Amino acid sequence: MAGENHTLKRSISGYNTNAALNHSDEYAWQLFTDLNHPAKLSDCKPDHDKQLGDNGLTVWEVWQSREETFLDGAAKPPRWKDGCANGGFYSYPVGNYSNFDDEAVRINPKAYRFIRKNHLYSLDEQERLAQAGVRDIDFPLGSKTVKAGWVKIAEADKPYYHWVEVERDGETIIYGLSAMHIASKDYPTWFWATFEHVDNDTRWNQVYPEAFQGWVIPSKDSAACPPTNLSCNEIPQGFGLEGTKWENYRLRGTQTEIVDNRGNPTVLVNSHLEGVLDQGSMSCVSCHALAVKGESGDSMPIPITEGTNDEGLPMGHIGALNPTLFLDENGNAIPYVGLDYVWTLRNAKREGL
C-alpha cells in the first residue's frame, strides 16, 4: 500500500474501510503524511505547491478547533468556509508542555458540519436527544478528529520537529509537536492511530517525568517493521518521510477492535497525551465508547478511569465495557444518548450562558 498513488482528498475527507481494517498500519501512515501536508491558508486545503516537510501550518492545523466549535452560550459556530477565511484558533500549551486541558483538538469538515447542522455544540440539545429516547447519534463516514500535544524545545531542536513559535510576555517560545492522535470514521467503531516523536521514548520522560512516562508499552508498526520485531523504531518506506522532520516520528500503534482474535483486550496508548495515566490500561475504543450524555447533569457522566495501579496512576477501561456502567442503582438502563465515540462533544456549552 505504501507504494500506491493516493490523493490527499481521499485520505483527508474520505474513508477507506478496507485499508483501515486490513492494512491498519499502512493506512495510519497514509493519514499521517496527508494530514501533515502543508496547508493553503486561503481555503484550509492542502497546498499542492509545497512538499511534505516544508515549514508552515499543516492540513489538520487549519481544521476547526474545539474552541471555534463550542462557543459561549452555545452560539452557532460559523460555516466552515467562513471560519477558515477568518483564520484559525491556535491552541498551544500555557506551560512547557500540553496537558489534558490545553491539548489541541481539531475537527475535519465532515465532522464539523455534522456538529453544526445537528446543534451538537449545545449541551442542552444533547440532553433533548437523550430525553427524546435517541439511543445514538451517527457521524458520517469520513469524519475525523486530531488530538495533539506540544512540548517546549530549543532552537537546535527545530530541524527534527514540526514546530511553531509563540510570542508570550515578550518572549519567543518554540513548541515542537510531540504527540498526534488520529481518529477516523472508516467504520462504526472508528479507526484509531497514535504517533509520537522519538524523543518521547527516553528524553522527555527524564525532563518532565510528571507528564511523560516513556514507552512503557512497546510500539507496534507492521508498516515499518518485520513481523518478528514490530517495535523496531523505524519509519516505513515509500511515504516520503526520509530527509524530512517527519522521519523523527513513530507510529505507536493502531486500534480497530476492542479485543484481539484470542479475546484479549487490545491496548493503544500515547505516552504524552495519556502520560498521567496507567499505560497498560489504555484503549481508545473502550474509552471513547463511554462518550454519552444523559438527560441532565455532567457532560461526562461515566468516569473514564476506574481505580489506580500500584504506582497510584488512574487506570482506564480496556476490552468490552462492563454493562453496569450504563445502569442506575436499581439495574435500569440510564437514558443516555451515545455520542458516537466523539469525546470532544463534552465541550458543548449551555445555551444562553
Q: If we measure between CA atoms, which residue out of 344, 336, 212, 193 comes closest to residue 275?
A: 212
Tens of pLDDT, residue by residue over 95-126, are: 999 998 889 999 999 999 999 999 999 999 99
pLDDT band at 57 (very low <50, low <70, confident <90, very high): very high
Average pLDDT along the chain: 93
Cβ(115)–Cβ(82) under 8 Å? no
Tens of pLDDT, residue by residue over 276-320, are: 999 999 999 999 999 999 999 999 999 999 999 999 999 999 999
- Confidence (pLDDT) at 11: 61
Tens of pLDDT, residue by residue over 128-144, are: 999 999 999 999 999 99
For 159, 237, 247, the CA distances from 243, given in Å and listed in that order, are 10, 12, 7
The b-or-e profile of 200-210 (16+ CB within 10 A means b, else e) is bbebbbeebee
Q: Using the predicted structure, report yes or no on whether residue 345 has a pLDDT greater than 90.
A: yes
Domain range summary for the chain, segments of one domain joined by +: 8-347
pLDDT band at 343 (very low <50, low <70, confident <90, very high): very high
Kindly report the number of other CB atoms within 10 A of residue 140's CB atom.
11
pLDDT band at 14 (very low <50, low <70, confident <90, very high): confident
Lowest mean pLDDT among 27-36, 79-88, 92-101, 168-177: 79-88
Tens of pLDDT, residue by residue over 190-205, are: 999 999 999 999 999 9
Alpha carbon distance 55, 146 (integer Å): 19
Tell me which residue has cell 492511530: 193
Q: Which three cell numbers stand for residue 147?
A: 488530538
